[in-house]
Structure 1
């Protein structure tokens, strides 16, 4: 009886780990990062630049703070953050990852 219960417990743990076959219908209009619009043109999913904006602002603030060595250094931090955010967003949006 004990062996039967252990075998049953092992079977119930392994059944969810077995890969299942997907029966989803692929119409050909959407395939990952690319899709076909209503006019038949292929479109590509692109980054909106948020990650580059955040990373650029943080890096720009640090660089601006290091450059502005006089007084409070708030001006250098703010200008550096603004410039870094604009540059980082532009770099992140310019990368197209469709192939």
Structure 2
């Protein structure tokens, strides 16, 4: 899996959690939202976008530093070599039987 996919997914999950948990705590502002957004909507939106980009970049950096960037490529390479018959014969036979639909 590519690190940008990991960072995008985790950022979306974190943003969703923040909105779900934080939204209930801001219920007292509900009558004032039109005024708040009219006066401060652009700065609040820019700060929220900057925060989301910062979180995504941080997660991306951690994924790159820990080697998750190459993990998908390495797993794909290992699977292709096993399917060619190189390496573990039992695993290659199990993958062949799975591809044929023989699950017993």
Same fold (TM over 0.5): no
**Larger Rg over CA atoms:** 1
Higher relative contact order (CA 8 A, sep 6+): 2
What TM-score do you get using the length of structure 2 for normalisation?
0.29
